[in-house]
């Protein structure tokens, strides 16, 4: 009985130790697995850092595409070799690689000349890349669209005879005009203006008395004559300035009206100045002689005073017109030429009105006799001299 109990206890001890050993081994083997699982769970729970891929260059992309094409071709060869019967070799032509281009026979249209649409495995990588790069591309839009401007130019070229290749030729037959240096005119007109300025600044009182006598005809004739006769030298200077101004004005008048072409200015201008001086000199002598002859020296002096007064004002008035006629354009010069002629006519008429009022105080005569005197001794000689001068200058 004791032996039986002892064996039973020994069996229990052995069985319990075996079971404990088995549990210890199973626990030792499962511990790393549990740790790995926990670690994997923790790793999946954590946010993984984003790894930025570097962009591939064109050569790298081309190399990767060629590698994929080679791998696909190798798989195709392998599948073809396995599918063909054992007695027949694989057809090498079937292992062609197309890179996005339809083979010549696939679509029923022939391949364009000069291009190779199929790339074989035997071709090198550079040749295949060059073939793919040189493939023609059809433009999506036409390169040139005809606009309305192109249509207009085409119609103009078809209608205008001067745009034709066989257009008519016209020859210019106008003679070349000789060049004339007119710098001397600048100095001449500038000298006339400067002379007037010097006289004006030197004799201010004489200028004021002159224009006061011109604008106030009601003042006493003897009083005005006495005031102006106290300065004989400025009186002489203004008379000479009138002669110069009128002579230059006549030259510019003929120049603008194209009455002179071949005449030399350095001879014509002094000739006109001398002509004006002779006309008024002869007139002064004739008036003095008539006053002495008929015993009316006071009347002759009064008429000479009015004549010189109007002439001095006229010489001053012509200065701005000289500048315009000398340097302005022909259209502007022609307009101011007519304006100057109007002022000259107005001053001459004013001179005769004042002369009539003065002469009537000394003599009794009719207006018809005075008009005949003006036509015979004032207007006719001027017209005759102008006609002779134009015939001498122009020849017609």
Q: Could you report the per-residue pLDDT of 49-73, keeping only the tens digit for each?
A: 544 555 556 666 777 777 777 777 7
- Which residues 6+ apart lie within 8 Å of 270 measured at CB? 247
Q: Helix 204-215 crosses helix 232-256 at what angle (to 10 degrees)?
A: 70
Does 77 have pLDDT greater than 70? Answer: no
**pLDDT, average across residues 79-106:** 45
For residue 234, what are its two tokens?
Answer: 């400025």
> Do 123 and 144 form a contact (C-beta atoms < 8 A)?
no
Mean pLDDT along residues 122-128: 53
10-24, 139-153, 367-381: lowest mean pLDDT where? 10-24
pLDDT at 44 over 70: no
Which token pair is 207? Answer: 């200028």
Tokens of 7: 């064996």
Q: What residues does 119 pair with on adjacent strands?
A: 97
Task: Find the Cα–Cα–Cα–Cα dihedral 241, 243, 245, 251, rounded to 10°.
Answer: -160
Mean predicted confidence (pLDDT) in 18-46: 50
At residue 296, the 3 state secondary structure works out as coil
pLDDT at 334: 92
CA distances from 340 to 161, 319, 390 (A): 49, 10, 20
pLDDT, average across residues 271-288: 91
* Nearest by Cα to 127 from 57, 60, 74, 62: 62
Candidates 260, 268, 252; CA nearest to 341 is: 252
Query: Collapsing DSSP states into helix, strand and coil, what is residue 100?
Result: coil
Over the stretch 1-10, which tens digit does the pLDDT of each residue have? Answer: 555 666 666 7
Its pTM stands at: 0.53
> Which residue in 375, 357, 384 sits closest to 302, CA to CA?
357
- Segment 252-274 shows an average pLDDT of 83
Residue 361 contacts residue 287 (beta carbons within 8 Å): no
CB 300 within 8 A of CB 290: yes
Sign of the torsion formed by the C-alpha atoms of 371, 337, 347 and 387: negative
Residue of 251, 258, 248, 268 lying closest to 177 (CA atoms): 258
Identify the pLDDT of residue 88.
45
Largest CA distance in the chain: 211
Between these two residues, 137 and 291, which has the higher pLDDT value?
Answer: 291
At residue 97, φ and ψ (nearest 5 deg) are: -115, 130
Instruction: Tell me the pLDDT tens digit for each residue of 318-370.
Output: 999 999 999 999 899 999 999 999 999 999 889 888 888 877 777 777 778 87
Choice among 80-89, 193-202, 227-236, 382-391 with the minimum mean pLDDT = 80-89
Alpha helices in the chain (DSSP H): 2-45, 58-83, 125-133, 148-159, 183-202, 204-215, 221-229, 232-256, 265-293, 297-327, 330-362, 367-374, 380-394
pLDDT at position 82 is 55
Query: What integer best gives the mean pLDDT of the chain?
Result: 74
Residue 227's pLDDT band (boundaries 50, 70, 90)?
A: confident
Output the pLDDT for position 38.
44
**What is the predicted pLDDT for the residue at 67?**
79
What pLDDT, on the 0 to 100 scale, is given for residue 79? 61
Q: Give, in order, the Cα–Cα distances in Å from 262 to each of 8, 265, 351.
A: 167, 9, 36
**Structure confidence by residue, pLDDT tens digits, 163-222:** 777 766 766 666 666 667 788 999 999 999 999 999 999 999 888 888 888 887 765 556
d(CA 16, CA 14): 6
Q: Which residues contact 152 (CB under 8 A, 6 or more apart)?
A: none
pLDDT of amino acid 91: 46
Distances in whole angstroms, Cα of residue 93 to Cα of each of 87, 90, 166: 18, 9, 64
Band the pLDDT of 135: cuts 50, 70, 90.
low
């Amino acid at each position: 009985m004791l032996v039986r109990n002892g064996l039973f206890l020994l069996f229990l001890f052995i069985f319990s130790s075996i079971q404990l050993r088995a549990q210890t081994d199973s626990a030792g083997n499962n511990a790393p697995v549990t740790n790995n699982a926990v670690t994997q769970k923790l790793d999946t729970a954590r946010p993984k850092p984003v790894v930025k891929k570097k962009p591939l260059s064109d050569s790298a992309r081309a190399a990767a595409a060629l590698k994929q094409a080679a791998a696909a071709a190798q798989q195709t060869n392998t599948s073809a070799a396995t599918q063909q019967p054992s007695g027949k070799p694989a057809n090498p032509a079937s292992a062609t690689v197309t890179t996005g281009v339809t083979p010549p026979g696939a679509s029923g249209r022939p391949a364009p000349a000069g291009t190779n649409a199929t790339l074989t495995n035997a071709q090198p990588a550079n040749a295949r890349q060059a073939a793919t790069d040189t493939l023609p591309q059809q433009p999506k839009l036409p390169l040139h669209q005809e606009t309305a401007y192109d249509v207009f130019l085409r119609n103009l070229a078809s209608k205008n005879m001067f745009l034709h290749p066989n257009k008519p030729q016209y020859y210019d037959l106008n003679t070349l005009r000789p060049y004339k240096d007119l710098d001397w005119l600048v100095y001449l007109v500038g000298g006339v203006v400067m002379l007037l300025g010097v006289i004006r600044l030197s004799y201010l009182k004489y200028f004021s008395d002159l224009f006061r006598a011109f604008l106030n005809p009601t003042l006493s004739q003897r009083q005005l004559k006495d005031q102006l006769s106290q300065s004989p030298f400025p009186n002489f200077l203004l008379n000479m300035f009138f002669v110069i101004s009128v002579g230059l004005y006549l030259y510019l008048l003929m120049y603008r009206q194209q009455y002179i072409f071949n005449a030399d200015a350095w001879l014509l201008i002094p000739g006109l100045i001398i002509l004006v001086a002779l006309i008024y000199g002869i007139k002064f002598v004739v008036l003095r002689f008539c006053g002495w002859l008929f015993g009316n020296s006071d009347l002759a002096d009064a008429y000479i005073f009015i004549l010189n007064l109007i002439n001095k004002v006229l010489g001053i008035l012509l200065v701005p017109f000289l500048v315009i006629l000398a340097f302005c354009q022909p259209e502007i010069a022609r307009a101011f030429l007519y304006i100057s002629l109007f002022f000259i006519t107005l001053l001459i008429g004013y001179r005769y009105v004042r002369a009539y009022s003065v002469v009537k105080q000394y003599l009794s005569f009719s207006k018809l006799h005075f008009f005949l005197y003006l036509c015979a001794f004032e207007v006719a000689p001027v017209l005759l001299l102008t006609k002779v001068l134009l015939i001498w200058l122009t020849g017609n």
